[in-house]
Amino acid sequence: MLGLVASSAHAGFDEPTFQSKTIPSFTITTPTATSGDTVIGAVRPYRIRKGDTLMDLARYFDLGYNEILEANPGIDPWVPPAGATILIPTEWVLPCCSYEGVVVNIPEMRIFYMKRLPGNQTLVYTYPVGLGRDDWRTPSGKFKIIGKTVNPQWNIPESIRKEHIKERGDPRTFIPGGAEDNPLGKYRFELSLPMYRIHGTDIPWGVGMQVSHGCVRLYPEDIERMFPLVPIGTPGEFVYQPVKVGRRGGAVYVEAHKDIYGGHPALFKDTMAEVERLGLAGATDQTLLLQALDDSGGMPYRVSPDPQAPTLAMAAPNPDERAPIPDDAEAGDD
């Protein structure tokens, strides 16, 4: 029987709580494009308590707002019904196919850092991100980490400055590092891809949304933990994979997300081509694949035919896990 993630203590969702939250990492046998497991984590159930919001729960469980909404359609994000059980979608298919360095999957709005270890092992860290809105799209492309800055100053591009003047009468040309309204937050990775950066944010609730001028924004506590892990020189890539195909325990899983920039109008055709390219067509049921594309809630969905196996992999009960319960144009560097 599945255990519910819940709490008996009435601790509020506040910044110290978010700063001290648990963010798991995963050690896997290093996969290749055609072999090895490429699915990490597990989906967990959670029982809503009075005062919860999906936005608070997303941040506490290190999810983007998009991820918790996709996994729980029909649930009011601001006043979810107390006692209802929702899904915490903390399971992911790794983006294909380098399995090394920093990878940002744009449609998923999630970043992965994969570090090779001795003994053919790979350590995986993953965090949700906010990305470029539709008129300031985050691009696809390879890059390297070429610099790291603590308390970066934001030199506002002229096109964004004009936008600020028009929207709120703010004519500033820069915002100093450490300022409360600095949209870069406290930490920034500089990339070899001109005009784009990976950094924190002064508005955590924008994670899992298309809110930036093209750059990648992480929760403050996530960028603080990621910052010392990633050395200068690390390779990276922005990929556009609305559907990811993975393997776990001999079964095939498909994880589907909204095609946010409209780049893949034929998702089923593209997914079948990927399944065939990975040599997994013989282990894939096309009916289950259609279900995964239509109704998987952004979570890895088993598409291998096995009537005894669940389509969603659920975590085993963990009575020690607790969640706090609250009381009643030109790409810009942001």
Q: pLDDT tens for the chain, 334 residues: list them.
A: 344 444 332 346 899 999 999 999 999 999 998 899 999 999 999 999 999 999 999 999 999 999 999 999 999 999 999 999 999 999 999 999 999 999 999 999 999 999 999 999 999 999 999 987 666 788 899 999 999 999 998 787 777 788 778 888 878 777 788 888 888 899 999 999 988 899 999 889 999 987 766 689 999 999 999 999 999 999 999 999 999 999 999 999 999 999 988 888 888 999 999 999 999 999 999 999 999 999 889 999 999 998 667 677 666 544 334 455 433 333 344 4
Residue 34 lies in a domain: yes
Residue 187, H or E segment: strand 187-191
Q: What is the CATH number of the domain that holds 220?
A: 2.40.440.10
Asked if residue 144 and residue 87 are part of one domain, the reply reads: no
CB 129 within 8 A of CB 64: yes
pLDDT at 213: 64
Whether the ω angle into residue 97 lies within 30 degrees of 0, i.e. cis, is: yes
Residue 226 lies in a domain: yes
Asked if residue 267 and residue 213 are part of one domain, the reply reads: no
Asked if residue 114 and residue 189 are part of one domain, the reply reads: yes
Q: Which of 210, 239, 268 is the last residue of a domain?
A: 239
Asked if residue 234 and residue 114 are part of one domain, the reply reads: yes
The domain of 44 spans: 1-96+244-328
pLDDT at 179: 80
The yes-or-no answer on residue 215 being catalytic is yes
Name the active-site residue from 199, 213, 257, 264: 199
Asked if residue 230 and residue 126 are part of one domain, the reply reads: yes
**CA 143, CA 127: separation in Å to the nearest integer?**
19
**CA 44, CA 121: separation in Å to the nearest integer?**
26
pLDDT at 313: 67
Asked if residue 151 and residue 30 are part of one domain, the reply reads: no
Name the active-site residue from 96, 213, 215, 257: 215
Asked if residue 197 and residue 159 are part of one domain, the reply reads: yes
Residue 89 lies in a domain: yes
Main-chain phi, psi angles of 204, to 5 degrees: -60, -30
Residue 71 lies in a domain: yes
Q: Which of 182, 208, 239 is the last residue of a domain?
A: 239
Report the predicted TM-score, pTM, of the whole model to 2 decimal places: 0.88
Q: What is the crossing angle of helices 286-295 and 267-277, to 10°?
A: 130
Residue 333 lies in a domain: no
Asked if residue 11 and residue 68 are part of one domain, the reply reads: yes
Structurally, the chain folds into a number of domains equal to 2
Asked if residue 211 and residue 106 are part of one domain, the reply reads: yes
Asked if residue 113 and residue 89 are part of one domain, the reply reads: no
Tokens at 114, concatenated: 């994969």
Asked if residue 81 and residue 122 are part of one domain, the reply reads: no
pLDDT at 283: 95
Q: Which of 183, 217, 239 is the last residue of a domain?
A: 239
Asked if residue 160 and residue 119 are part of one domain, the reply reads: yes
The yes-or-no answer on residue 199 being catalytic is yes
Beta bridge partners of 112: 103, 126
Q: Which residues contact 59 (CB under 8 A, 6 or more apart)?
A: 13, 18, 21, 204, 205, 207, 219
Q: How many CB atoms lie within 10 A of CB 67?
A: 26
Query: 124-160: buried (b, 16+ CB within 10 Å) or exposed (e) per residue?
Result: bbbbbbbbbeeebbbeeeebebeebbeebbbebbeeb
Residue 334 lies in a domain: no
